[in-house]
Amino acid sequence: MSFAARVTGPEDARAVGELLRASYPVLMRAAYGEALSAVIEIITRPNPALLESGTFYAAESGEGQMVGIGGWSRERPGDARMEPGLAHLRHFATHPDWCRRGVGRLIYEVCETRARESGIGVLECCSSLNGEAFYAALGFEPFERIDVPMGEGRSLAGVLMRRRI
């Protein structure tokens, strides 16, 4: 089955939300167990600013089904700080039926290419525990284990990772 990546827009919010709700509860359950229940509603919400950024992408099957998403931003997630030459991978997800087919890698390659063209030399991501192996396979190296604040006193364990591009 073939798939291709494209830039998202605000009109993709519903499909992105559906993909997140199909992906995260299934793919993150083994790494987080019941802790996932406390944050699932938060992490499966589409981010309107990302959808409109021009740097967030959807992979679609030949039949038009959204099978993966992800993007990058110059702004650090959560506080909007920016550092010259550094960008952040954001909100990657693959539909469980499409895992291990190259969907995430395609979206990453688009992100890396566009970021490099924009003068970025280092990509950083806050990986979920279950995503760490994916990012490591792309050449990212972990440098800090963190608890990502989710609001209302909730958090989710993660791994900060970096890669020179």
% pLDDT > 90, the chain: 91
Contact between 30 and 131 (Cβ < 8 Å): no
| 63-102 pLDDT, tens digit each | 999 999 999 999 999 888 999 999 999 999 999 999 999 9
Into how many domains does the chain fold?
Answer: 1
Give the pTM: 0.94
| 115-147 pLDDT, tens digit each | 999 999 999 999 999 999 999 999 999 999 999
Give the range of the structural domain holding residue 28, as residue numbers without chain letter. 3-164
Select from 137, 150, 105, 142 the least CA-distant residue to 124.
Answer: 142
We report the CATH number of the domain holding residue 149 as 3.40.630.30
